[in-house]
A and B are shown apart, each in its own frame.
Chain A
Amino acid sequence: MKLLLAFVSSLLISSTVMAQEVAPDVLVKTVTNEVLDIVRKDKDIQSGNTKKAIDLVESKVLPNFNFTRMTQLAMARDWRQASAAQQKILTDEFHTLLVRTYAKALTEYKNQTVEYKPFSLKAGETDVRVRTEIKQSGAGKNIELDYWLEKSAAGWKVYDIEVGGISIVTNYRESFAAEVRNSGIDGLIKLLQTKNKSGDAASVKK
């Protein structure tokens, strides 16, 4: 019996290890394909149903993101000024803002295809960039879309996305810093909350 237990638990452990060892490029590819498959079939999302796109992002994409790290990166040195409670609110609000943006981008989807650039994981690497390129079907230039991932105990987690060389996380740095400079951490929290609420209103109107 004891032996059996040991065997079963070793199986469990090895399967968790397997789960953690999904390579970052495989992770990006799997999630992207899964999401695009859904969007391709979903006429609601294609016609601009932001709510549905948000649900999709929340369930499929977000488990692979590290929002605390993202918020920390966007806040830069101001992060340490924030109390634990403020950090929690900031992370939640930033999460909402990024999800809305991501969902909005999905509703703009028009038959683009994704090309995955060659990727190789060097031994011992814990911080990597996975490069993809969005191929436009009609007019318009192709867009480079890169994912930055970091290895954690729970597997590889995305902590930044670069669109055409623009990091969607660090792009907030200056505006966050300016807001904190002018009206403090609470001012920034309020600004994010107002922004997210206005987003609600906009999607309700649809």
Chain B
Amino acid sequence: MKTMLPVRVKSLALAFAAAGLLAGCATSGNPKDPIEGFNRAMFAFNEGLDSAIIKPVATGYEAALPSPVRTGVTNFFGNIADLLIGVNNLLQGKGSEAVSDLGRVVINSTVGLLGVFDIASDAGLEKHAEDFGQTFGRWGVGNGAYVVIPVFGPRTARDTVGLVLDVAADPVTHVQPIAARNVSLVLRAVNDRANLLPADKVIEEAALDKYSYIRDAYLQRRRNQIFDGNAPREPEADAEQVERPVMAEAATVEPRAAADTVAPDSPMLVARTETAEAK
């Protein structure tokens, strides 16, 4: 399977990665985020791009299209995504989930009129969220360094590799002709952004430092996704055990959180000895 990214983008990405490694030498402090200097610069770039172009377009899109139409767009792309979600569930050994995902695709593509209506959810086939990054996490690959990628935003080293596979395997990137592909990609991106608009104000209200708020939220969310919503509470660094009940579940399921296994000296993939506990 060949990657669809043009060579120019690839060399750009390489340049960014190199810049990141250099910046990483200068700024560090948080072991999960060894290239914080580079990441903050990239985050500022992405924020600028968002406020100048993406957010205004998404806001206009939201205002122009009635909610049922936007739901239809969300469902249409969601149906295409279910295919790869099923593949990832299969790769993670979750057979019944994979069967359910493929069942969703069959039902929604037919009865749901090419995926515009999510009939399968109404019928009780729950929608899952899986990608290659999660599959690697499930297999026991640690996060590696946190990295902010231009346009795509927050990832970890592991999820960056996952992203490359996600993009390469994404049916939408293989649509022909190219013009139709580009329209689809833009529509999907704008629709995704529009769905996130309500969260913007809440994050502004909550965050002391937006960069680290989003970073930590991303890391928490990924950890939770890898555990399929059953992540044990992150251990408290604080040792005041007397005042707190011991969290039996957290202690037995996994002593160390996946997000905590990043070695500061190895920003690339960190292989973990214990795998994420399947429930």
Task: Show the binding face of A for B, using Cβ within 8 Å.
Answer: 72-73, 75-77, 79-80, 97, 100-101, 104-105, 108, 110, 126-127, 137-141, 144, 148, 150, 160, 162, 164-168, 170-175, 178-179, 181, 191-192, 195, 199
Contact = CB atoms under 8 A, between A and B. Distances in A.
Contacts of A174: 30, 32, 212, 215-216
B123 interface: no
Nearest to B226: A165
Given A73-B236, A139-B195, A195-B208, A105 B217 contact: no
B216 A144 contact: no
Given A138-B68, A171-B217, A165 B238 contact: no
12 contacts: A72-B240, A73-B236, A139-B194, A160-B233, A165-B220, A165-B223, A167-B233, A172-B213, A174-B32, A175-B212, A178-B212, A195-B208
A186 to B, nearest CB: 15
Interface in B43-81: 67-68, 70-71, 73-74
A175 B71 contact: no
A79 B223 CA distance: 25
Give the interface SS of chain A, mostly helix, strand, loop or mixed.
helix
Contacts of A162: 224
B74 A139 contact: yes
Contact of B224 (A138, A148, A166): A166
Nearest to A109: B198
A167 B234 CA distance: 10
Interface in B223-238: 223-225, 229, 231, 233-234, 236-238
Contacts of B237: 76-77
A76 B236 contact: yes
A175 B221 contact: no
A93 B194 CA distance: 32
Given A137-B67, A172-B213, A178-B209, 16 more contacts: A72-B240, A80-B238, A101-B205, A104-B206, A105-B202, A138-B71, A165-B221, A165-B224, A165-B225, A166-B224, A170-B234, A172-B208, A174-B32, A174-B215, A174-B216, A199-B205
Contacts, number: 102
A104 B205 CA distance: 7
Interface string B188-219: 00010011001001100110110011011100
A108 B198 contact: yes
Contact of B229 (A79, A141, A144): A144
Give the interface SS of chain B, mostly helix, strand, loop or mixed.
helix
Nearest to A159: B244
Contact of B67 (A75, A139, A144, A160): A139
B208 A175 contact: yes
B29 interface: yes
Contact of A165 (B202, B206, B229): B229
What interface size band does chain B fall in?
A: 35 or more
A47 to B, nearest CB: 13
Contacts of B229: 144, 165
Nearest to A139: B70
B78 to A, nearest CB: 8
B201 A173 contact: no
Contacts of B234: 167, 170
B245 interface: yes
Given A139-B195, A171-B216, A79 B238 contact: yes
B213 A175 contact: yes
Contact of A164 (B67, B71, B221, B245): B221
Nearest to A146: B229
A140 B212 contact: no
A117 to B, nearest CB: 10
Contacts of B245: 126-127, 150
Nearest to A110: B198
A-B interface, 4 closest residue pairs, ranked by CB to CB distance from nearest:
A165-B224, A138-B67, A139-B70, A101-B206
B64 to A, nearest CB: 13
Contacts of B236: 73, 76
Given A72-B238, A105-B202, A108-B198, A171 B71 contact: no
